[in-house]
Structure 1
């Protein structure tokens, strides 16, 4: 039976493991064979920079592996990309990607190119990342927010990243928004969602106002901010990630989230105090 190996580029695991996945796949780290086979067959066949393999794949990297009944990959491509996205949202620092799939049967092998590899800090799969990833395997994440969060990781410019993240945040916090009231609702709902005290809510509201103005300047006048908004983009990514994870782990819909946020504003409580979720991703906002 053919063996399928997909190296997870730019990843490293803090300990050996084998995680069973749906569709007869498993995620493995610390096993010699997947690395040896990937190194043998993929290094000289990549269309990208020839030195990229050694920079992005190492013995401690993760590998997606399966005993594959045939040599066709296209049917599973969307699922492989979903695994990549769920790995990426499991950490806040670090970006991994699955750009190639290798299929091997006896002395024959095939290489399928899926996408270009993503650039970013080293992806470290530790115990916290594993806990989140495992909890997401069977979860359906808010589709538009999750897709835009993932797309933001692929973008080069801070402006493009900011726009993707704001689309994600708008889909979560103002799915009922109308022109002229979106900024107000974003400031209010996000302040009560992330802030536990009046001071925290005030800081969050001011940050949202400033960042949403940047979004408008980029969209309507093509303004380029460059490195000036890198920290801002990182804060937006933390907010989008936290809201996506919290919503998925609680098993609530976007409509449920909106109703809860409006209840919070009426009660004056913070989210954890009122709804006591078993797990709630928090962020530290220094503005």
Structure 2
């Protein structure tokens, strides 16, 4: 019977748990066997030394495990990457990645997929993260926004992260935008989506204008900002994550979101008061 062990690199759980997942998989932390097998077989296949492996994986790390006669690893790879993305959506201040090892035959293991662990803060899978992750399991997320959000986590340069996040945000808030009006639509729609007062909306609109101008400078002149835009990138990530989660939880399409926002602007209303979503994450800009 084939066995798959996929340690969730850079992750930690506050306490042991086991969670059943689709496709005959389960997610576990605090189990001895997955850690022992991953440490024995996966560690030696990586071009990292044991110290770095042990820094990213320990017995309280998360492990994606499957032990089933009908498992099709090649067919499941896209699904595993989707699980990695949804795990990363469940936590704002942490990044994880999933390589894995699979049995070829009893007592013989091989590497089927190996992805380097992503750099970033430790991914803590607490009760709040578990709640979000479970709610996302059966949800179809806005595909372009979700893909670009997860790609931004893998980028080292702040400029590349900013570009990925703006692609995600444009696909959410201005999919109907034409040259010359995209910035205007982004400013207005995002201001009404995230802001509740005139002052908040004004601050959001000014931030959008500044950040989108930075995006244009990177694209058209290759300007390097470095860590000067790290705060802007972090705020864009919060906005993209919030909009992706909110849209998925409400079960609406990007087109429906656009229609809602244009109605809000005409009426001057607040999104939460108007539509009463079950879950809505606010983004606050300091004055």
Structure-1 separation of matches of 2:141 and 2:71: 30
Aligned pair 1:110/2:139, yes or no? no
Aligned pair 1:235/2:235, yes or no? yes
Q: State the Cα distance separating 1:248 from its structure 2 match.
A: 0.4
- Aligned to 2:45, the other structure's residue is in SS state coil
CA offset digits 1:43-67 (Å, max 9, x no partner) = 2221334432101000110000011
Which sits farther off after the overlay, 136-145 or 108-117? 108-117
Kept in 2: contact 1:7–1:61 (CA 8 A): yes
CA offset digits 1:92-123 (Å, max 9, x no partner) = 00000002333375422122233222111100
Kept in 1: contact 2:41–2:101 (CA 8 A): no
Structure-1 separation of matches of 2:160 and 2:3: 38
Question: Equivalent residues in 2 for 1:25-174 (5 A)?
Answer: 25-69=25-69, 73-103=73-103, 105-174=105-174
Kept in 1: contact 2:101–2:109 (CA 8 A): no
Structure-2 separation of matches of 1:253 and 1:85: 19
Kept in 2: contact 1:5–1:101 (CA 8 A): yes
Structure-2 separation of matches of 1:265 and 1:190: 10
Q: State the Cα distance separating 1:269 from its structure 2 match.
A: 1.0
How large is the Cα RMSD of the aligned pairs?
Answer: 1.4
- Aligned to 1:103, the other structure's residue is in SS state strand
5+ long unaligned stretches in structure 2? none
Kept in 1: contact 2:38–2:101 (CA 8 A): no
Match of 1:198 in 2: 198
Question: Equivalent residues in 2 for 1:218-233 (5 A)?
Answer: 218-233=218-233
TM-score scaled to structure 2, two decimals? 0.97
Match of 1:187 in 2: 187
5+ long unaligned stretches in structure 1? none
- Aligned to 1:167, the other structure's residue is in SS state helix
- Aligned to 1:83, the other structure's residue is in SS state helix
Q: State the Cα distance separating 1:37 from its structure 2 match.
A: 1.4
Structure-1 separation of matches of 2:135 and 2:250: 11
Match of 1:271 in 2: 271
Give the direction of change, closer, same or farther, for the CA distance of 1:282–1:103 in structure 2 (3 Å limit).
farther
Q: State the Cα distance separating 1:27 from its structure 2 match.
A: 0.5
Structure-2 separation of matches of 1:182 and 1:286: 25
Which sits farther off after the overlay, 7-16 or 114-123? 114-123
Number of residue-to-residue matches in the alignment: 287
Kept in 1: contact 2:30–2:60 (CA 8 A): yes
Aligned pair 1:255/2:262, yes or no? no
Structure-2 separation of matches of 1:193 and 1:42: 45
Kept in 2: contact 1:42–1:102 (CA 8 A): no
- Aligned to 2:66, the other structure's residue is in SS state strand
Structure-2 separation of matches of 1:70 and 1:218: 48
CA offset digits 1:123-157 (Å, max 9, x no partner) = 00001100000000000000000000000001000
Structure-2 separation of matches of 1:80 and 1:97: 10
Kept in 2: contact 1:4–1:104 (CA 8 A): no
Which sits farther off after the overlay, 203-212 or 72-81? 72-81
Which sits farther off after the overlay, 39-48 or 148-157? 39-48
Q: State the Cα distance separating 1:70 from its structure 2 match.
A: 6.5
